[in-house]
Each structure stands twice: as structure tokens, then as C-alpha cells.
Structure 1
Amino acid sequence: MKHTLTALVLLMALTACGQDSGNKDMAGKSAEATSSSDAQTETGQAQQERGDQAFASLADKMIRQLWELFPSWAVREGYYAVADQLAVPDEQQRQRVLDFAREYKQQFADIDPTTLGPGERSDLAMVNTFLDRLIWEITEFKSYAWNPANYNVSHAFSLILNTDYAPLDERLRTFSQRLQKVPAYYEAARQSLDKPAAPQLELAIQQNKGALSVFGETLDEKIAASSLSAEEKQLLQERAAKAREAIEGYIAHLQEMKTDLEKTQDFRNFRIGEELYEEKFGYDIQIGMTAQELYQRALAEKDRLHEKMAELADRLWPKYFPDREAPEDRLEKIHAVLEKLSGQHATKETFKAEVEKQIPELVAFVKEKDLLTLDEDKPLVVRTTPPYMRGFSVASINAPGPYDKGANTYYNVMPIEEFSDEEAESFLREYNTYLMQILNIHEAIPGHYTQLVYANKSPSLIKSILANGAMIEGWAVYTERMMLEAGYGDFSPELWMMYYKWNLRTVINTILDYEIQVKGIDKERAMDLLVNQGFQQQAEAQGKWRRATLSQVQLTSYFAGYADILALREEMKEQLGEDFDLKEFHEKFLSYGNAPVPVIRELMLAELEGAGQG
């Protein structure tokens, strides 16, 4: 089943032209027409204002109830009014979520989209998609029964402990209150699980072991530094001990399940199949095409990128292999050049420091080229990925939500200091001097960090919190190409060669995800795709295989969003001609928050249409 957003209606201004004529009857009719048109315009504006107000009131009510249902999500968005609460993921909670989604579906159905302004219409479409997805997740996808990695209390607790949104004593009291529900939380998790999938089971064990760190030494230090009474401190420590016990019990339960299932090889298949995949793709990506259509597009793009890389390999070959004839096989030739370039990299001891060092350089380039306005008052902290978040990606961004815009954004970097020399060399050859630059553009400036700062400034709370992954990942991928087009790296063929390798990764992400989840390919075929056709190092390919078995659809978001954004930029160039300004395009695009790219396109075109008629 294909899900699409409600079609957005462009604004059409009502105008009337008076005719300069000596005929008094015609002049009178023209005046009457103008008066009638003005009255219709005023009536339409009043109707839209009423519609917008009704929608805003209902949306505000829904969001307040949303945070009561999902207090951990609320904390991640910077909404701390419910931080002392922890939802217990049992059958009663799932029923409450279903009732919530169905009730608001009915209430929003009473709002006529034609009475809304374009921004509110797109918000309404996003709300309906979100509510439909909630219902689908519980009634059809049912990951609560087979994905034990869904259950982990640590992230919100860590934010409460380490974000200075309130005095330490107040945050510790909130922390203590929330701790009371942790044993019930993990008991509900155990009861909810039926037959887990093996990769998700492994991840749950790993990340919940990491979760124990949130309730250990750092918490003890915070308690010691506080002004809580002796009784409050003792109570908090007792509750933390019970929380650790509950987490350890959950880990032991998962380990026992793993042992039993390994004997029978009766794990749930982590591959979700074509029907569920297409449905999830429709909800999560929202680009106006099916997953199969995007997959076919990615196959064609892979061949195009191979051609581009072969051309660059021909240019670079004499420089790096002056005494060696280039092989006829283009993939072999590309691989040889990439391997040569990959030898330039940091050490495992300096990798994180090199990441930090480059951030100011990216800021300076964006300013020099006037690509978009950066808000340097928003803190960006490069840190080692916390233990409870490891096992999924090499690097990631944790940004504050719209309710706490001034809080730190964390750039998480995988710790590699303890890798063996062989593992570290494979990792560092993948994230070499060239690719590290692309990685930092993607994750930080002007990629995820910059985009999420803009999202928090969006006037639409809906567009900020109901984030579309394809837009977010697509923007980060788009900025990689945009920066190089603007001259970052002085058009170095080496950097462009590595950029194409990185861009090829986004394309292969789509192919890999679809082929694993829908076509059922095995690890051998996946590794061939990643290593031989994507030129990835073994360590990276192994990690990507694991990631593709842990998630579904998410890996397609990079290529889907990037292709849509690039197409939109070209469309706006054609529309505006000489009036097109790259910085204005970027800032206007980002001003709409985390909305799907098709929604942003319609809003930009509506604004352009309105400006033209004005």
C-alpha cells in the first residue's frame, strides 16, 4: 500500500481589473466587480484565519497529550514538564496510544483542509501521517514483540542528569521520581517480547549493558555534589540500585532467550518482507514513489557513479602509479586509486581530535562563500559515543529539541582507541583524511547540526517534532556535494574521488536495505555489494551489514532525500533564473523545519506564486 501526503493547494489571489473606459455602465460594473472581489477576498481570509486557529488549538491539545503518553520523547525534545514520568510499555500503554491516535484522527478529520493556509495544510498532512503510523506500528508492524532493543531507559535519564535545564537538586529529584517506574518498565518489556530477531537481541544486550553506566559513577558524583538532604540522597541511591537490578535482570533474560533460541534456531526473521517494507517506506520516507521505484533508481545511479569514478581514476592514475599500466576493468582501477588515497589517515589515538579540529575550518568556509547563516551561539560538543548508544553507527548527532534550543548539540564519535591495530587500520582507511572531511560536513557543518538548529527556529512545532528522516538525512547528503561545488577542497580530484565513493555509499545503502529486507540476500552477496562495488573497507562493510539487519527503510532516507532536494534546487533555479540565490534557497528550505521534501517544495512554490502575483 502506498501512502502519500495530502495534496497541498497553492494560494491563488483573487484580483479584478478595472477598465479605463468612457462607458459609465462598464465602469460601474467594473467597480461592482472589484468590490465583490474584495469582499470575497476578505471572506476567504477570515475563513482561513478561523480554520488556522481551530487547527492550531487542536494541534496544541494533541501535542500536550502526546508528551504525557511519551515522556521520554518529550525529554529528548527539551520538554521537561513530564520528565519525572516514565511510560511503562505494557499492553495498557499500547491501548492508550491506539485510543489517542484514533481519537485525534477523528477530530482532525473534521477540519477542512481548504480552509487552512498552506503551512497549516502541510502540518495537517504530517499529523495524519503520524497518527496513521502510530496505529500501523501497534496493529501491523508490532516491533514491540520482536525488537528488544526498543526497551532502554537510559537516554532520557542521561539528558535529565547532564542537561542544565534546571538546578542540579531539582533535576536529581526528577531523576529519583522517574526511577520508581524502571522495574515495572523492564518487567513490561519482558512480558511484551515474544520471539525476537537475532540482530535486535544482540543490540539490546549490548546497549542495555551500556545503560548501566548512566546509573553508576557519574550519578554518584552528581549526588555527592548536590544539596539534597541525607534522606533524599539515600532514597535516590536505593532507587538507582533497584533500576540497575532491573536492567541486569532484563539483560539476563535476553541472554537466556538467546541461548534457548540458538539451540533451536527459532529466531524471528529480521527481514520484514515486501508488504511491510513498502508500508514502512510510505510512512517514513514520503517522497511520492514506492520503495521498489527508488531501488531501481539507485541501481541506475550506482552505474553512473562508477562511470564518474572511472573518469577520475584515469586522471589520477599517472600521478599515483607512474610506472604501472591501468587495468582494463574499471572497478579494479577505481579500487586501486581509492586504496592509494586511503593510506592518508589519522591514528586511532588522534581520530576524535582530528574531527574536532576540522569544525572551525568548515565554519570559516561557509562564511567565506556565504552559503547560509550560521548561529555560532548554539554549542556543538564533540564527544565519544555514550555506551548505551553504541553498536549502530560510526558517528551521529544528538540535537536539543525546540523546547530547549540553547542546550548542547552532541557530535558522537565512535571510540576506536581500544581497537586492535588491524581493526583500527581498516576503520581509519575507510575514514581517511578525505572522507573525514565529508563525514564532518554531513554530521556537523553545514549538515545535521546546522539543519537541526534551523529546525528549532521553525514557527511550526509540528514540523520540528514530527521529523521526516529523508529530509534530515537528505539535507546532510546534499551539503556534501554543495560544499564541494562551492570550492571546498579547491576542486581537488582526490577529494572529489573520495566524495563519489561516499556518495556511492548513500546509493548502495538503498540497494542494500531493499535487497536484504525484500529480496532476502545473504551476507556474502551483501559484502560483495559493499566491498567490491562500493569500495568499502571490511570493517565498514561488516558494520553496514549489521546496521542493515537492525533497521528497515532508514538506510534509504539518505538517497531519497538527497535526490529530492537536488531536484528541488534545480527546479527553483529554472523558476527564478538570474534571481536565484543559493543562500536564500538554503535558508528558505531550512526554515520549514523537518518537513518532508515534497511538503517543503509545495510551500516554496506557493510562496513563489504569491510573490509573483503580489
Structure 2
Amino acid sequence: MMLGGIRLFLVLLITVLLVACDRQKVKESGDVMTSDQQFDDLKPVLLEKIWRLNPEWATSVGYHKYDNQLVIPTPERLTDEVNSYRSMLHDLHVLKQTTLSLNNQTDYRMLEDFFNGRIWYLTVLKTAEWNPAEYNIGSGVAEILNGRYDSLTNRLRSISLKIEQVVPYYEAAKNNIKKPTLEHTQLAILQNKGALTVINDLADSVKKAPLKPFEKDFLNFRIAAAKNEINSYITFLQEEQLPVLRKGKARSFRIGKELFTQKFKHDIQSGYTAEQVYQKALKHKEELHQQMLALTQKLWPVYFPEKPLLTGLPGVKQLLGKLAEEHVPRDSFLTAIRAQIPQLVAFVNSKKLLTQDASKPLVVRPTPEYMRGVAGASVSAPGPYDQTANTYYNVTPLTKYSTAEAESYLREYNKYQLQILNIHEAIPGHYTQLIYSNKSPSLVKAILGNGAMVEGWAVYAERMMLEQGYGNNAPEMWLTWYKWNLRVTLNAILDYSVHVLGMKEKEAIALLTQEGFQEETEAREKWKRATLSQVQLSSYFTGYTEIYDLREEFRKKQGQKFQLRPFHEKFLSFGSAPVRYIRALMLQP
């Protein structure tokens, strides 16, 4: 009787627990929660888990709960991370995607893509073993130090706790590195030297901050330890790794067709395959050459009235060389960029291309040293949790260039091309798109940004501005844009050719200078970038192609009712989701 009573009690207890679980899916009103409501409850839970795993990424998007955390990248920690992403995938798959609204189906796919991508990076690509540049505390410290979301005192307290773990952090980094590439090792040395400047800035801030004496002592002790560990890591790379790597023991920076194809799928998330994009880029290169030849024939008498037309690509190159003579002085490069920003704002407003938010500041600054070595210009934007923070337009100074290198660089970014660069990076390119992205009702779409959409929008913005009359439809401006768009096209060709087809440096420089009309310095910087990244160079052409095709589809569908501003604002309202997902959302009945 006693045993039977216990069994009955257990059955009742289990029943109560099951009912309680079911009640979690019931609203207070008593109605059963829909799949969309359950998913809306799940999303912030998943995002919180993502931030706990990625504290520095959280800081960069304005989520400061984990500012004081520094992830120690031990093998055990990396294994735990993989297991966490698999667990989150399981939580996601409890819900059926097809039962959700189209908008939530997109968020579902983006989360699923993200988790699968992270698992692939950690278990297949394994960059932690061959890319020493992944280990650098400079960026995380600088993000907090330069923030405005809290008092300097509180931010310094977060940094103090963060860098407390600097010794095991760099020890784990040294232990993780198995057979690095020479190129990423050199980048790691350069950027960690840049991190030392961040630590010096941190030391200066400690002197000014109203911290308690014991807090200053602790922080100064940790700053000294951080400097020591960064220098130790640099020495490890310079003295233990470089000599071995230069003897031919380095891993190749080329990842090969199989990994490139997989990485393209995870990173770009296009409707096209990597090889299809490569083939499209080859075809587009020929189309651009034809357009440039036609404009060269038109402009030749203006610039070379006494010379017979030099036919073919050599004629285009000579004309572009003539236009390149018009550039700003070396010491005015940053100033010229700052001066152009208000002009772009005024043009976008006058043409009613989209609504701009004047309350969000854009700060043009020299690229911080810990970020240098990959791109000459870039944008660092705040995330959706910290929308009032500055957006930075980073421009690498020419101070370390020789006279010849600086002249080559300035010829590349001449009077015409500098304007296109500013459209791309600032208005209405990256800066504008990321402002809109932060306002997206979906945090998932704002946070899990797709690189091809982000870069594609910036390239699309260049063409759109010229189509609307920016530069007064001057043939010189259009010829320069064709060259710029050719660079985007060659990025995709170079990316695939280097990593899949084994293109050599000499071949790459010839492609970029002879068929792309690029200056020598620019071409060599692009080759360097191709050795340090994989797939990213394909994102510009892929995203641009998909966005432009979508716009033309809308134009055809709406006919005379089509207007740019509604199209742009609708497109940008979906955060930074992949273009193929935005397309489905915009074309839904």
C-alpha cells in the first residue's frame, strides 16, 4: 500500500510538472502562445548566450554587461563554445520554422546560419591554430576606453578586471598556435605593437581618473603586466615563429577550393555559389572594359588634343593616369575627406534619396594603430544597444609611406575617386546603412549583419548617386566609377583566383594594374589583403549584384509608381540581413 501510494504520488508530481511546462507557453490571458510569441521570447535568451560567449563583440554593439570579461581561448574553452552553439541550435529547432511569420522565419534562418557558421569556424577552419592575429587585447580595451556610455571611472574598472586575465590569455594564444601562416604572423606583430599604444593611452587615462588610490595601484600593476605580455607575445612571434616560417615551414595562406566554397556559403549567404560569382565577375569585367573604352574615345580629344587616340586598354590607362594627376596634397588627405561629408549630406537631401538622421555623429579620424595593416579606409559603427555613440570613419595616415608610395596612393584616390570612396564609406554608404540597421525592429537582423549586404549596399550607393546626377554626370566621374566598380569586380576574381586557383603575386599585380588600372601601391596592398582574408573580397561584388538586380525588379514591377526613397528605406529597414532574405520580405504579398 505504501509503495503504491509513492508511485501514485510520483505520477501526480510528473503530471503537475508537465502541466507547469505547458503553462509556460500560455499567456496570462489564458490563450495558448503562438509560435511567433514563443520565438520572440526565445530570441533575447539566445542573444544573451551569444554575448556571454563573445564579450568583446557585445561591447562593440553597445551591450556592456560583459565588458569586464576576457575569454581565455584554451582548447577546453573552445570545445565548450562549440557545445554551447550546438545547444542553442537545439533550442531553436524546438520551434518549427514554417509555423512562424515570414519576418520571424528570416530571424530564425539568420540565427541558424550563425550557429552553424560558428561551429564550422571552430571545428573545420580552426583559425585559432594558424592566425596569430586573432589574439590581441587592444581592440577590446580601446572599445571600452573610447566609449561614452558610462563614466571614465567605471569604464576603467571594467578594463582593470578584463586585463587581470592577460597572462593566461597570451599563454593560451601561444599554446594554440600550431602552424601559422607567415602573413598572419606578420600582421599579428604589427597589430599587437598597435595594442601597446592603446595600453599607453590607458595609462594616461588612469592618471586623470578619480579612482581610489588602491584601484589605481591595481590597474597600474595590471597595465604593466599587459605591456609585458604583449611584448612577450610579439617576441614569441618574432623570435620563435618567424625564423621557422621563413624556412618554408609555414602554412599556406591559401585555403583551397573546398574550404573556400564552404566559407563562402557561411559568410556570404548568397543565392549564388562561389564559382558562379567568379564567372559573373569575369563577364562583368569585360562589360566594364567596353564602357570605359567608349568613354575614353569621347574624352581623349579633351585631354590629349595633339595626340592620336591610343586604342584598347592602354588608352584607358593613359587617360586615367591623366585624371589621377588631380589629387589633394599628402598632408591634406584627412582634411579633404572631412570637407566632403557635408556635401554628400546635402546632395542626398536635395534628391530625396532617403531620410537621414542628423543626430548620429560621424567622426573622421586616423585609423587606430591596432587596426592598421588590412584596409586603408573603414567605418567603425556602434551597435543597436548604443545608438547615440559616434560612428568613426577610419582613414590610415600616409605618414609611414615613402614619397613615391604616398604619391601613388594619392593618385589612386584622386579628385574623382576620393568622392566615390566617401560615398562608399560614409554617405549614403556604410555610415548611413548602419544607422538604419541599428533602428531595425529586429535585433537579430541588426546584430547578425551579413557582410555581402553591408558591402553590397555601399557599392550600390556609389552607382545610385551617380545615376542621380552626383558629379554633374561628368564623363570623368563616370570613367572613374567604372574603374572603381572594376576594382570591386576584380576583388571577387582575385579572391577566387588566389585561394582556389593558386594565382601568384606577379599575376595578381598584373591583373590589378593592367586590367584594373590600379596604381602599384594600391595593387600591392590588395594582394596583401587577399593573403590575409578569404571570401571577404567577394562580398562587395556579390552584394552589389543582388541589390541592383532587386531594385531593377522593383522598378519593372511598379513602373511609373517606383520611387527610390521608399525602396531604399524599405530595403534598409531589415537591418543587415542577407539580400536573399530581404528580397523575400520585400516581395511578399
Please indicate, yes or no, whether the TM-score normalized by the shorter chain is above 0.5: yes
1:242 partner amino acid: A
Cα distance in 1 for partners of 2:257, 2:427 equals 36
Match of residue 96, structure 1, among 80, 87, 91: 80
Does the aligned pair in 1 maintain the 2:181–2:245 contact within 8 Å?
no
**Is 1:221–2:236 an aligned residue pair?**
no
Match of 1:147 in 2: 131
Q: Work out the percentage of aligned pairs sharing the same amino acid.
A: 48
Match of 1:573 in 2: 555
Match of 2:362 in 1: 380
**Is 1:548–2:543 an aligned residue pair?**
no
Match of 1:327 in 2: 310
Indicate how the Cα distance of structure 1 residues 47 and 390 shifts in structure 2: closer, same or farther if over 3 A, else same. Answer: farther
The aligned runs of 1:489-500 (5 Å cut-off) are 489-500=471-482
Deviations 1:579-598 (A, max 9, x none): 21110000000000010000
Cα distance in 1 for partners of 2:122, 2:327 equals 46
SS at match of 1:397: strand
**Is 1:190–2:174 an aligned residue pair?**
yes
| Structure 1 residue 221 displacement after superposition | 2.6
For structure 1, which segment, 436-445 or 102-111, has the greater mean C-alpha deviation from structure 2 after superposition? Answer: 102-111
2:183 partner amino acid: P
Does the aligned pair in 2 maintain the 1:397–1:443 contact within 8 Å?
yes
Match of 1:204 in 2: 188
Indicate how the Cα distance of structure 1 residues 47 and 147 shifts in structure 2: closer, same or farther if over 3 A, else same. Answer: farther
Does the aligned pair in 2 maintain the 1:197–1:269 contact within 8 Å?
yes
Deviations 1:208-265 (A, max 9, x none): 000011111x223311221111111111011011011111111111112343324531
**Is 1:248–2:245 an aligned residue pair?**
no
Cα distance in 2 for partners of 1:596, 1:537 equals 33
Does the aligned pair in 1 maintain the 2:281–2:489 contact within 8 Å?
yes
Cα distance in 2 for partners of 1:409, 1:484 equals 25
Does the aligned pair in 1 maintain the 2:456–2:542 contact within 8 Å?
yes
Cα distance in 1 for partners of 2:332, 2:247 equals 45
Cα distance in 1 for partners of 2:32, 2:415 equals 54
Indicate how the Cα distance of structure 1 residues 487 and 48 shifts in structure 2: closer, same or farther if over 3 A, else same. Answer: farther
Cα distance in 1 for partners of 2:136, 2:573 equals 33
Cα distance in 1 for partners of 2:177, 2:199 equals 25
Match of 1:38 in 2: none
1:542 partner amino acid: R
Match of 1:410 in 2: 392
| Structure 1 residue 139 displacement after superposition | 1.1
Cα distance in 2 for partners of 1:578, 1:78 equals 42
**Is 1:165–2:143 an aligned residue pair?**
no
| Structure 1 residue 47 displacement after superposition | 10
1:596 partner amino acid: P
Cα distance in 2 for partners of 1:47, 1:254 equals 61
Deviations 1:95-116 (A, max 9, x none): 1211111111112112111211
Cα distance in 2 for partners of 1:343, 1:312 equals 18
Match of 2:291 in 1: 308
The aligned runs of 1:413-432 (5 Å cut-off) are 413-432=395-414
SS at match of 1:80: coil
Match of 2:336 in 1: 354
Does the aligned pair in 2 maintain the 1:48–1:115 contact within 8 Å?
no
| Structure 1 residue 419 displacement after superposition | 2.1
Does the aligned pair in 1 maintain the 2:183–2:253 contact within 8 Å?
yes
SS at match of 2:363: strand
1:426 partner amino acid: S
Does the aligned pair in 1 maintain the 2:452–2:539 contact within 8 Å?
yes
Match of 1:40 in 2: none
| Structure 1 residue 371 displacement after superposition | 0.3
Cα distance in 1 for partners of 2:481, 2:558 equals 29
Cα distance in 2 for partners of 1:47, 1:202 equals 60
Deviations 1:171-219 (A, max 9, x none): 1111111110111111111111101011111100000000011111x22
Match of residue 504, structure 2, among 522, 525, 537: 522
TM-score (norm 1): 0.90
Cα distance in 2 for partners of 1:91, 1:57 equals 32
Does the aligned pair in 1 maintain the 2:203–2:223 contact within 8 Å?
no
**Is 1:270–2:270 an aligned residue pair?**
no
Unaligned runs of 5+ in 2: 1-29
Match of residue 467, structure 2, among 468, 474, 485: 485
Deviations 1:18-37 (A, max 9, x none): xxxxxxxxxxxxxxxxxxxx
1:317 partner amino acid: W
Cα distance in 2 for partners of 1:63, 1:87 equals 17
Cα distance in 2 for partners of 1:506, 1:424 equals 22
Q: Could you list the structure 1 runs, at least 4 aligned residues long, displaced by more than 6 angstroms after superposition.
A: 46-49
Match of 2:22 in 1: none
Does the aligned pair in 1 maintain the 2:182–2:242 contact within 8 Å?
no
Unaligned runs of 5+ in 1: 1-45, 610-614
Cα distance in 2 for partners of 1:98, 1:578 equals 51
Match of residue 437, structure 2, among 455, 473, 477: 455
Indicate how the Cα distance of structure 1 residues 474 and 49 shifts in structure 2: closer, same or farther if over 3 A, else same. Answer: farther
| Structure 1 residue 385 displacement after superposition | 0.3
Cα distance in 1 for partners of 2:179, 2:102 equals 45
SS at match of 1:268: coil
Does the aligned pair in 1 maintain the 2:182–2:246 contact within 8 Å?
no
Deviations 1:537-584 (A, max 9, x none): 000000000000000000000000000000000111122122211100
1:479 partner amino acid: A
| Structure 1 residue 417 displacement after superposition | 3.0
Deviations 1:89-145 (A, max 9, x none): 111221121111111111211211121111110000111111111111111111110
Length, aligned pairs only:
560
